[in-house]
Amino acid sequence: MKRWRMMVVIIALAAALIMFVSALLSDLTWWSRPLGSMSMVRTPHRAWRLALVQDAGIQVNIAVLLAGLVTQFMAGVLVLYLVPRRVHHMAHAIAIGWRQLLRYLVVGILLAIVLAVVGLLSILALHTMPLLIILAMFFFLASLGGVVALTYQLGRGLLSQAGWSEGSPLTSLALGTSIIYAITRIPFFGWVVLVLLWLTGAGVAVATRLGSGKPWSLLPLMEDW
């Protein structure tokens, strides 16, 4: 247990370090670049070699970093308070194991394909045209719920291994958010992780029927009237 406690502290410190380094080396102000260049390689910050605190760019970067972290955490808090039972179901489903998590990722990928195709084909008929936006929003909300559950379960898993599971669920969420947010700040790798996370999140949300824990079934339609 002592080893796990040390590990949790090291992971939290490493997350903080990754975030800090990303603020020094990357340009986080995405709005200052044209949208077309979003996927291009991020150039190192122009003044990262200079004195850190004096450079206004780095200060902005750190402010953006903190704002992003707080926003992500607050969004998670909102989801936890709005649908605690559903998050619990999703977190429980994630905790089963890696194979199950991989299954959710596959569900998420296949679901993204199905929704993208249905959304694209829906624009061919005038009356189904809004489906493109509705399905995109559904996917976004399902992914958000799933990612919050993943984040919460990550923090909870680590804290329970360290024997600190008696604390508030918000502590688990804060730890999970810090780790995930730090990983997604790593250039290139972060984007891959982010996409995988959102796909897995969507998969978890759909597989647990948006956290209701009930199976997907047509049985009610087969029951007697």
Partner 1 sequence: MADWLDELLEAMPTEPYPPDLAVQVQIRLAKTRRWSKWVQNGVRLVMVMTGALGLWLLMPRVEMLVTAISPISLARIEEWLSAMVRSPSQALLGLSGIAITWVSQLAAGLEAELVLALGLLATPALYGVISLLSSGISQEEAII
Contact at 8 Å (CB) between 138 and 190? no
Q: Interface with partner 1 by CB under 8 A: which residues? A: 31, 34-36, 103, 106-107, 110-111, 113-114, 117-118, 120-121, 123-124, 129, 132, 206-207, 215-219
Nearest approach, Cβ of residue 126 and partner 1 (Å): 10
Closest CA to 173 of 190, 188, 189, 153: 153
Question: Measured from the CB atom, is 78 or 106 closer to partner 1?
Answer: 106
> Of 6 and 114, which has the nearer Cβ to partner 1?
114
Least Å distance, CB 135 to partner 1, is 12
Nearer to partner 1, 122 or 161 (CB): 122
Q: Are 22 and 64 in contact (CB under 8 A)?
A: no
Beta-carbon contacts of 135 under 8 Å, excluding residues fewer than 6 positions away, are 115, 118, 119, 122
Please report, for residues 81, 108, 111, 114, 139, the alpha-carbon distance to residue 121 in angstroms, rounded to integers and kept in the order given: 37, 20, 15, 11, 17
**Residue 82 or 118 having the CB closest to partner 1:** 118
Least spacing, CB of residue 209 vs partner 1, in Å:
9
Closest contact distance (angstroms) between CB of 174 and partner 1 is: 32
Closer to partner 1 at the Cβ: 65 or 105? 105
- To partner 1, the closest distance from the beta carbon of 107 in angstroms equals 5
